[in-house]
Amino acid sequence: MEVVDLRRINIYFNCPIVASNSLKAPPGKSCSHPRNLSLHTKRRRSIHLSTSPAPVLTELVDQTEHSLAQEDYYYDSGKFAVFPNVQFLRNFPRNELFGKVVMVRFDTLILLQGMKEHKPLPESAFFTIRYLYNSRAKVFLVGSWNESANPKFNMEGSLSTKSVADFLSSMLELEVVLVKHVSGFMHLHADDIKKPGILLVENLFCFKGERANCSEFAKELTSGVDIIVNDAFSESHKVLASTVGAAKFCNACIAGFYFEEGQYKLKEIIKISERPYMAVIGGSKLADKAAALQSLVSKNTCDGLVFVGNMAFQIMHALGTPVPMKLVETGALEEAARIMEFAKSRNIAVILPQDVWCITDDVSEKIQIASVHSIPEGWQPVDIGPRSLEEMAYFLSVSKKITWLGPLRFSSRTQDKDGTFKLAEALGTLSNCNVTFVGKMEFEESLWKSKSYSHDNFLKSAAVVWEVLKGGKLPGLLALDRAYPFVVDWSVVYDDPMRPLVVDVGSGNGLFLFGMGRRRNDMNFLGLEMNAKLVVRCLEDVHLHGTHNVHFIATNATSTFRSIVSSYPGDLFLVSIQCPNPDFNKPQFRWRMLQRSLVEAIADNLVQGGQVFLQSDIEAVAKKMKEEFLMYGKGQLEVMETEELGWLKENPLGVPSDWERHVLGRGDPMYRLLLSKVENRD
């Protein structure tokens, strides 16, 4: 089995802020995730998080003053909030992949780097596909690439789907079979389905429905697909049918190993863990990146900016320095001035080139050094000069963390003096300094040869990084299933974690579980509730009354049930889902709570003979829940004895919920049934 070294991400870290002149950090604050919903009860009875000490009650209340959407993120000292806790393939039960149809959205950058640029690829690039294939899943590859990316690549003048299939076959050492339509796995010809190996559908770039995130196109693409694995991290800033729209049509949508690696590197870039932290800015189009640059200086993310590309001339122009007008970008003046105002107000150092290598605009190969203040007419800057190189290297020499954003090449012109390359090479000699290059790096292979850098120092997805730095969200990331981010120490939560467990999905105000807990002290009770404020109140009552067999967690059980309950050391005996609140004004969200992934997780974790209790005051809702459990229960769930019209007249648990009392009090019926887990008959 191949192994990819994917480091664990620490949720908690200190976030000191330093001024660029003093390089002294005041005491930092520990940034904790608002889902740390635990209390000190008897013997400090709380959920223990492996990454941080358990907080006190006052901290708990403060942390849960956020909406559920906010709770899905962790914060870097309030600077960026972009990373929900998502489900990764490495944490997904491998046995659940066996025999499943898995659609893998692979990363286009792999094709461009491997096929067009003929550069070595990271080990993780294809690990997701191999892992799924070795897990006996039927792998169904989809991707999107510009077929005219390199006219010299093949005889057809494009990156044809056939050439892509051949390339993937050679890299995977597995047969990749081309399927010439995108109508989903269910509509494949029987001969195609029976073919061994891995299937590759047509290039999605050719279909408008992909870029338009067309719901019908996404539905057609995913027909017959059980699980989506998104490995296209470089396209996570886009809204695409194959990464966003498709998520709602499958049982699970999770991140692959390559996606996870990209997200880890991105987190490392924006995490303020080492000071001084410098950013080297290359490239052009300052107006497009102004929001990100303002964020870097206005939020004290970094201690200094070093400009090595054409954006430097926009800053000079804003400062009143004479600049050849042909170097001035439209719309950049005001943005550049605003960046400098932010930098000055926060004492952030900004380093600009003092001299540059220039070539003539004609076809001659003349090259000379010029001051940035007096570039001769008819000459074009192509690289930083020796004085600039020396000053920048000296300024960056004190850094503990450096992120290089943008190309190493100062200009698209091929004649240069390797000034920026020499600077990048010099950064590799700094001791105890974490250097990351973001974007397309022309000299990447040369830097690797210096043995100062490895693949870990490079992140290709520049557009994703710029989007995050300017405060944007990543739709491809947000579409993935959520995962509970913490490890629950059940021996601290309950007196005896080996007792049978009862889980109430959507526990609300907790009255049902408190009633059950008082009646059955031989069992443990767990409430999973999306409303964090209700969970806080329930935990306060647990603390107040010294209850030792009832606990609550604020989470979306639809995606986190498996990760939470599967770690419980005792048996899962009963799951109750009572009176879910369907949104009849938005049919697409009406049944979003009870999805196939939740039903399968319940069926998998229930002990033999365990039960599921369903009830609602709306008959259509109760019928829908029943249908979902019978359809997706893997043949392990069957309805127990019912009474009139197929429903139970009385609540078999003997403890009514608050809403149940309200409904019965007004004289309306409740629709109830019990299902039991039996031996699998499939």
CA distance readout (Å), 37 to 59, 84, 546, 614:
9, 17, 17, 27
Strand-pair partners of 638: 676
Q: Which of 615, 630, 617, 613 is nearest to 681 (CA)?
A: 630
Q: Are 605 and 638 in contact (CB under 8 A)?
A: no
Tell me what percent of the residues of the chain surpass a pLDDT of 70.
77
Contact, 632 vs 600, CB < 8 A? Answer: yes
Q: β-strand 434-438 against 401-405: which pairing, if any? A: parallel
CA proximity to 479, closest of 8, 204, 105: 105
Query: How much is the pLDDT for 28?
Result: 34
Strand partners, 671: 616
Does residue 182 contact residue 221 with C-beta atoms inside 8 Å?
yes
CA separation for the pair 412, 75 (Å, rounded): 38
SS3 call for 270: helix
Judge whether residue 672 has pLDDT over 90: yes
Average pLDDT over residues 519-546: 93
Q: pLDDT digits over 569-617, tens only? A: 999 999 999 988 665 555 444 445 577 888 988 998 999 999 999 999 9
pLDDT of res. 75:
38
Classify 16 as helix, strand or coil: coil
Q: What's the pLDDT at 48?
A: 29
Q: Residue 22 has what pLDDT? A: 28
Write out pLDDT tens, residues 242-274: 999 998 888 789 999 999 999 999 988 888 778
Q: What is the largest CA-CA distance in the chain?
A: 95
How far is residue 507 from each of residues 471, 475, 605, measured CA to CA in Å? 34, 30, 19
Q: How far is CA 251 from CA 105, 244, 378, 430, 583, in A?
A: 16, 14, 61, 48, 21
Question: Of residues 362 and 5, which shows the higher confidence score?
Answer: 362
Is residue 216 within a helix (H) or strand (E), and if so which, with residue range? helix 215-221
The pLDDT assigned to 569 comes to: 94
Over the stretch 326-338, which tens digit does the pLDDT of each residue have? 889 988 999 999 9
Q: How far apart are CA 334 and CA 131, in angstroms?
A: 50
Average pLDDT of span 491-500: 94
Strands (E), 428-520: 434-438, 458-459, 501-505
The whole model's pTM is what?
0.73
Q: Which of 161-165, 186-190, 323-327, 476-480 has the lowest mean pLDDT?
A: 186-190
Q: What element of type H or E holds 516?
A: helix 511-519
Q: What is the pLDDT of residue 274?
A: 82
Distance in angstroms (rounded) separating the CA atoms of residues 213 and 194:
30
343 pLDDT more than 50:
yes
Confidence band (pLDDT; 50, 70, 90) for 15?
very low
Q: Lowest-confidence range among 75-84, 306-315, 671-680?
A: 75-84
pLDDT of residue 464: 92
CA distances from 546 to 397, 490, 542 (A): 57, 17, 6
What pLDDT, on the 0 to 100 scale, is given for residue 449? 64
Residues 6+ apart with CB under 8 A from 83: 73, 74, 263, 267, 477
Identify the pLDDT of residue 180: 74
